[in-house]
A and B are shown apart, each in its own frame.
Chain A
């Protein structure tokens, strides 16, 4: 565990970048430092690997003061990823990744083999190994940066706005990749960003910092969204945080009904039986084709092209309540379609039912908070 204990960073000109900050960073999880520019989040990160020395206070790594080991030894035990990757343009990709192992005295062959393994782990084509950084896209370069930081298998990974210089689509890919890698490797990651959405997506714990180096709130993302500590945090989280909080509730417990679901070859009775304003027609494999009012359907002559779009379906086991609600809102009938991972319809759910689930989820959340408090 990394423990930051009332740390202050004051520069000779008098500016205070970080002000008596205390933070406990749990092992094997992603802790995100987020805040506007000038809030001291990067300074805090750089104090952990002593790129910046604190003016006051101590930082403990597994109970030991980080000042007590040589600075290069400390840094080599922590991966470091920065914005724009900071690759060495005169070295090939494989040699970039092998940098730290080589510094630690590994043989060239072993270091390169390790580099090749990491390229695969971060999703880089092995054909890129002999290329130079300028031949790679921004997203690829950032993957190399992550691979390079992981090369010596350090227990701690420090990431300073690693994804802010790439476009939103690539950024989303990199974020998903990081979550996947973290699932496999379980590193202690400290991640700095100014993007609150990124913080909420990636963080197990999120530390919101405010200008002047003060900690505004330190909480898991769902808690942050439900109970911002003050007006600053609330403002920083932005609007629709209620909706965004739904991302943290699973949709698995939604009560689905398959009554209004009928096959393409439905009989007149099947069409007439359900007491529903709309029916969902599925194909022979059970995949959704579209919605229709019962009176517009003729048994034996249901034409898929005349049906209303079924919208985007959700997968109850994987998707959150937010996705389910989104599907219902976007559906022309106000009903969301649930499918299994194979795309077969498992049922439908109305906006009203989802609303009911949200209310009970909130109530459960409040109970949890009471217990925790």
Chain B
């Protein structure tokens, strides 16, 4: 049997489409984990990256934090957090947020630093307040890069959220972990396909967001 047969078998089994272990339920859980982790990571990474990037200070400290964040193994951290905090959402959120903060933080900082300094100088010379310079001059120009940081964070969360299943949570990882223990490859492949599709949808959403939010003056230059 090849992979495509597994996929076909998985998706044509009507049992996989209903109940607490059905595709809609697991997909919903997975999306929820992803959104929560992304929102938390963005709430940490965006403001810090924007402000440090605007003032051009703390780049070295940021890259240390980012390296440390990337160095922590997500899977090990998940197991460790579960040992420390017991089962639940929190031990899953911590490794996902630790995973997602570095790309958001570093790209936001870099995006702000790479903004051409002359419009900023002009804005300041016109008497614009610093906060306005940040949000109305720098942010619109830095937006494509910032979105790309958020995008790679989101993709990594989607892919890594599968490990939540190892500590008895839901999400699409359930199919993969359960399938592994039950030696049910059809389930594993089905779960993997769903995760990959979800990642592609995430890509598409970010592409659409960039189309909608980035000024044509920035996109084309």
Query: Which residue numbers of A lie inside 8 Å of B, CB to CB?
Result: 49, 51, 71-76, 78, 80, 82-92, 99-100, 103, 132-134, 145, 148, 158
Contact = CB atoms under 8 A, between A and B. Distances in A.
Interface string B121-139: 1111111110010000100
B150 to A, nearest CB: 18
Contacts of A132: 215-217, 220-221
Given A84-B118, A88-B119, A75 B217 contact: no
Contacts of A49: 125
Interface string B195-221: 000000000000000000011111011
Closest 7 CB pairs of A and B: A75-B127, A132-B217, A86-B122, A80-B125, A134-B221, A90-B215, A86-B118
Q: Which of B119, B127, B221 has the most CB of A within 10 A?
A: B127
A133 B221 contact: yes
A88 B216 CA distance: 12
Given A90-B217, A132-B220, A103 B126 contact: yes
A83 B119 CA distance: 10
Given A82-B121, A82-B122, A145-B122, A89 B221 contact: yes
Contacts of A90: 140-141, 214-215, 217-218
Contacts of B216: 132
Nearest to B128: A103
Contacts of B140: 88, 90
Nearest to A89: B217
6 contacts: A75-B126, A86-B118, A86-B120, A86-B122, A103-B128, A132-B220
B119 A87 contact: yes
B118 A91 contact: no
B127 A89 contact: no
B189 to A, nearest CB: 45
Interface in B103-153: 116, 118-129, 132, 137, 140-141
A148 B123 CA distance: 11
Contact of B217 (A72, A84, A100, A133): A133
A72 B127 contact: yes
B119 to A, nearest CB: 5
Nearest to A131: B217
Interface of B: 116, 118-129, 132, 137, 140-141, 214-218, 220-221
Given A89-B221, A90-B141, A134-B217, A83 B128 contact: no
B118 A80 contact: no
Contact of B119 (A72, A89, A100): A89
A87 B141 CA distance: 12
Nearest to A73: B127
A51 B118 CA distance: 13
Contacts of B128: 72, 103
Question: Do most interface residues of chain A lie in helix, strand or loop, or is the interface mixed?
Answer: mixed
A73 B128 CA distance: 9
Contacts of A99: 123, 126
A67 to B, nearest CB: 15
Q: Which of B119, B216, B217, B220 has the most CB of A within 10 A?
A: B217
B125 A92 contact: no
A308 B88 CA distance: 100
Contacts of A84: 118
Contacts of A73: 127
A89 B138 CA distance: 10
Nearest to B124: A51
Contact of A91 (B125, B127, B217, B220): B217
B127 A92 contact: no
Given A90-B140, A103-B128, A132-B216, A83 B118 contact: yes
A132 B221 CA distance: 9
Contacts of B126: 75-76, 80, 99-100, 103, 148
Contacts of B220: 132, 134
Contacts of A88: 119, 123, 137, 140, 217
Contacts of B217: 88-92, 132-134
Contact of B125 (A75, A87, A133): A75
B215 to A, nearest CB: 4
Contacts of A76: 126-127
Q: Which of A71, A90, A91, A100 has the most CB of B within 10 A?
A: A90
A218 to B, nearest CB: 24
Contacts of A78: 125
B192 to A, nearest CB: 40
Nearest to A158: B125
A100 B221 CA distance: 24
B118 A82 contact: yes
B113 to A, nearest CB: 16
A41 to B, nearest CB: 16
Given A86-B121, A100-B127, A145-B122, 14 more contacts: A51-B125, A80-B122, A82-B118, A82-B125, A86-B116, A89-B141, A89-B217, A89-B218, A89-B221, A99-B126, A103-B127, A103-B128, A132-B220, A132-B221
B122 to A, nearest CB: 3
A86 B137 CA distance: 11
Contacts of B116: 86, 89
